[in-house]
Chains A and B, each alone.
Chain A
């Protein structure tokens, strides 16, 4: 069983729709990361959170530590949001160097 599971694997939406991508994990973590990978390949960090909720523009990330679950929401989606969204968790405890454990990603396509 994968330690980080994302759903759905693929998602197609119409421009303007509200989008939710889910991430569940099975290990103890110090933080959860949401990353974005555009078709060109580059990976950028969107959020790093260990509790509650964070918002940046039209993107909102939430985490429930007790349930080991996080969601990434995109409001008023736009074709430029089309990308692969990757969930990762920081396995940092004590002397660990904070290696990340990655989900397989969710491929989002937003149609105009």
Chain B
């Protein structure tokens, strides 16, 4: 398995609080992605990174921000969590843009 970990694995928080999810990789892959998974929607891209400090928006980026200060870590921040952000969040990594993406184990986030 590709060396990807996500933390925390589960989190329950209240509306309006800030939340940060962490993705850590040991593969030294250039590309990193954050997806959310909701029933009936498959996986939707939130933000992605194509290098240290290089990030861009995906399909559903509103309400989320990201940062990548080093190759191995990609952080996803919900500045003020809302109930609509209750979801399972997956991080993925890829060595090249047109190669296989390897997914982490996911973080289940519940916003009450």
A binds B: no
